[in-house]
Amino acid sequence: MSLKTADLCDAHEAGVRVLDLALRDYGGRIAFHGPVSTIRALEDNSRVREAVAEPGEGRVLVIDGGGSTRRSMLGDNLAAMAAKNGWAGVVVHGVIRDTDAIGQLDLGVKALGTCPRKTDKLGQGLRDAPLQFGGVSIAPGEWLYADEDGVVVFAESVAHSS
C-alpha cells in the first residue's frame, strides 16, 4: 500500500476518522486497506470463523470484542483462513493469540494485545452491524486504511482522490 495514514489525514482532514486506540501490529502485512466488514461479539469468535471462511475480496474485517482481554478473538487457524480467502486484514478491539504464526501470514492484523485462552463458541454475535469504539463509528462498506502509524476510516475509498 502506497497510501500512508498520515498523508491521508493531511489530504482529507475533514472526512477522516482516526481510531484512538493503541493497537499493535501482529500480521505479516503492516499496511493494508479495504472496504469494511464488521463483527460485534464478546468472547465468542463463531461469527469470525463464518466471515473468514467466505471470500474476503480485499476487505478488512473489523471485530469489536468489547476490548476484552480475557479471550482471544483470532488465532492462527482463522487468520490463515482469512489470508487464504483474500482478506486484506483484521482489526480487533480485543486480543488475539498464536502471534508467531500470524506474523508469518500475508495478512494485516492489529489488536490490543494477546491472550492464550480461546473463545467460547456459542454462535453469538452480530455481523455487518455498525460499531462504535476507539472514538469512532465504523459501518460496513466504509473504507479502512491501516499502517505503522495507525488506523483511519472514511465513508468511501480515497485511494484515487489524494
Q: Please state the rounded mean pLDDT for residues 12-31.
A: 96
Q: What percent helix, strand, coil does the chain show, rounded to 5?
A: 15, 35, 50
What pLDDT does residue 120 have?
86
Dihedral angle at the C-alpha atoms of 144, 42, 44, 91, nearest 10 degrees?
20
**Coil, helix or strand at residue 52:** helix
pLDDT digits (tens, 9 = 90+) for 101-150: 999 999 999 999 999 999 988 999 999 999 999 999 999 999 999 999 99
pTM reported for the whole predicted model: 0.96
Residue type at position 11: A
The Cα 130–Cα 123 span in angstroms is 19
Which strand (E) or helix (H) includes residue 102? helix 99-102
Residue 34 buriedness (CB in 10 A; 0-12 / 13-18 / 19+): buried
The Cα 156–Cα 51 span in angstroms is 21
- Only one residue has cell 463458541, namely 121
What pLDDT does residue 160 have?
59
> Is a pLDDT exceeding 60 seen at residue 162?
no
